[in-house]
Amino acid sequence: MKLKTITLLCFGIMFVSCASLLGVQNSKYTSEKIEIGMSKKDFLKLFGEPYAKEMITDRYNRPVERMLYQESLYD
């Protein structure tokens, strides 16, 4: 009887510990809003100014501007 109680208690704790108190967090930076051929001006209007920018090259050695965004999950 004691083993059964301890086993049920352990399973109960494991089940509850996987739950989130805050629910599902959605990002405002989703790629669903981005369209092929979208101008940089329209992109910035949609997402705002990035916190950082950098220039990189793609695998064909073409320059690419990378704009970096971040957001806090728990405001």
* Per-residue model confidence as pLDDT tens for the chain (75 residues): 788 888 888 777 777 666 666 666 677 778 888 899 999 999 999 999 999 999 999 999 999 999 999 887 766
User: Is 23 inside any structural domain?
Assistant: no
Supply the pLDDT for residue 14.
Answer: 73
Provide the whole-model pTM. 0.56
Supply the pLDDT for residue 10.
Answer: 77
Supply the pLDDT for residue 7.
Answer: 87
What is the number of domains present in the chain? 1
User: Is 24 inside any structural domain?
Assistant: no
User: Is 54 inside any structural domain?
Assistant: yes
Question: Residue 39's domain spans which residues?
Answer: 35-75
User: Is 2 inside any structural domain?
Assistant: no
* CA dist list (Å): 36 to 21, 33, 58: 37, 10, 18
User: Is 6 inside any structural domain?
Assistant: no
User: Is 10 inside any structural domain?
Assistant: no
**Would you call 11 helix, strand, or coil by DSSP?**
helix
User: Is 27 inside any structural domain?
Assistant: no
